[in-house]
């Protein structure tokens, strides 16, 4: 056997043995991720009821019914409004805060921690806290409004203000995460670019527009996609704060999925909702990648 053939054989053996190391991960992914995904697709094609002895095959009837379900469309509208407002808000405010806290000093570090701290808490806990803060009878915000001479607003009981209140809490909860991501991106911008812009006569605003923003494009893309996916999966916050009310004005797609699957026990219909949501997330994420795509030469 020639030397070249021996080298190729060793490479082939070394490459094949690598599968032994990733086999446990592949097995776990197959059992706990791939198989449930396939099973959920199969369930969505059946009139699948928890506890039922017979699960008849219905084809695409669940999806057809879903297209005619006004409650689903209302939940999708609420979810999209929440997602757009929260994603744009948290990334926009995160960018503004990161720009002000770009230089590392002792007080900027303290302020960064203060902004990031709400992100650590669970959404359910944050929801409980803000539910009490916004309570028109015993809430701290109502008490401050009364002292200032304003009439307290029943934020979470109002069809007008319930969704804006959720959006505000969502932005407050996640703006620290966007700030940290954007700060990390800013730290990667070479100082030479700012020095060159200064020599060309660019002020602070010009440097931000022509140096910082182009360099942050991949970072902003990542932050927007993560914010969008999190927003489309809205459940904990509105479940705790409003339970979908008043009059379904804050009911999200995931909350409606939960209602149909675990309250009404219509798992076939619930998995159809899950697949529609999955497709919506994929389409929106792909659109964001196309709209905010960048090249290394930018």
Tokens linked to 117:
């701290």
59: in domain: no
Q: Which two tokens stand for residue 59?
A: 């084809």
The answer as to whether 187 is a domain residue is yes
Q: Domain tally for the chain? A: 1
Burial (CB < 10 A; 0-12, 13-18, 19+), residue 143, is middle
pLDDT in tens, 78-137: 999 999 999 999 999 999 999 888 877 778 888 888 889 989 888 888 999 999 999 888
Q: Is residue 85 part of a domain?
A: yes
In the predicted model, is pLDDT for residue 13 greater than 70? no
Beta-bridge partners for 46 = 57
| Listed residue (103, 96, 257) closest to 171, CA to CA | 96
pLDDT band at 66; cut points 50, 70, 90 = very high
Instruction: Flag whether 38 is in a domain.
Output: no
Domain carrying residue 104: 66-291
Q: Is residue 24 in some structural domain?
A: no
DSSP 233-260: T--HHHHHHTTT-STTTT--HHHHHHII
For 182-190, what is the mean pLDDT? 86
Question: Does 18 reside within a domain?
Answer: no
pLDDT at 244 over 80: yes
Q: What percent of the chain has pLDDT over 70?
A: 92
Is 242 part of a structural domain of the chain? yes
Task: Give me the pLDDT at residue 297, please.
Answer: 45
Structure tokens at 113: 């921690």
Residue 155, domain CATH: 1.10.3720.10
Rounded Cα–Cα distance for residues 97 and 111 (Å): 10
The residue with greater pLDDT, 23 or 251, is 251
pTM for this entry:
0.86
Q: For 142-156, what is the mean pLDDT?
A: 87
Mean predicted lDDT score pLDDT of the chain: 86
Smallest CA-to-CA distance from 82 within 201, 168, 181, 196 is with 168
Q: Is residue 263 part of a domain?
A: yes
Give the E-state strand segments of the chain in sequence order: none
Q: Which of 210, 186, 213 is nearest to 198 (CA)?
A: 210
* Model pLDDT for residues 258-298, shown as the tens digit of each residue: 999 999 889 999 999 999 999 999 998 888 888 776 554 44
pLDDT of residue 208: 83
The pLDDT of residue 296: 46
**Average pLDDT for 50-54:** 74
Q: Is the pLDDT of residue 4 over 70?
A: no
In this structure, how many other beta carbons lie within 10 angstroms of the beta carbon of residue 200?
A: 10
Residue 176 has pLDDT above 50, yes or no: yes
């Amino acid at each position: 056997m020639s030397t070249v053939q021996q080298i190729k054989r060793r490479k082939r053996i070394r490459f094949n043995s690598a599968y032994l190391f990733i086999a446990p991960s592949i097995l776990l992914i197959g059992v706990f991720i791939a198989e449930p995904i396939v099973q959920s697709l199969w369930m969505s094609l059946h009139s699948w009821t928890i506890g039922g002895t017979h699960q008849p095959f219905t084809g695409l009837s669940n999806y057809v019914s879903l297209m005619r379900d006004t409650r689903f469309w209302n939940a999708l509208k609420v979810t999209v409004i929440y997602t757009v407002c929260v994603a744009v808000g948290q990334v926009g405010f995160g960018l503004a805060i990161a720009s002000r806290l770009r230089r590392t000093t002792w007080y900027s570090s303290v302020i960064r921690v203060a902004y990031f701290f709400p992100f650590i808490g669970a959404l359910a806990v944050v929801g409980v806290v803000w539910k009490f803060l916004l309570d028109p009878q015993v809430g701290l915000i109502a008490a401050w409004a009364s002292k200032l001479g304003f009439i307290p607003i029943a934020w979470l009981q109002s069809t007008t203000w319930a969704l804006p209140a959720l959006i505000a809490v969502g932005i407050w909860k996640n703006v620290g995460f966007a700030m940290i991501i954007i700060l990390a991106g800013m730290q990667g911008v070479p100082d030479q670019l700012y020095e060159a812009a200064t020599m060309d006569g660019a002020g602070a605003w010009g440097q931000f527009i022509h140096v910082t923003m182009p360099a942050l494009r991949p970072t902003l893309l990542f932050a927007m996609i993560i914010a969008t996916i999190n927003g489309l999966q809205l459940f904990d916050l509105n479940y705790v704060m409003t339970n979908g009310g008043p009059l379904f004005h804050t009911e999200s797609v995931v909350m409606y999925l939960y209602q149909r699957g675990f309250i009404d026990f219509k798992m076939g219909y619930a998995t159809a909702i899950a697949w529609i949501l999955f497709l919506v997330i994929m389409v929106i994420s792909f659109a964001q990648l196309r709209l905010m795509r960048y090249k290394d030469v930018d």
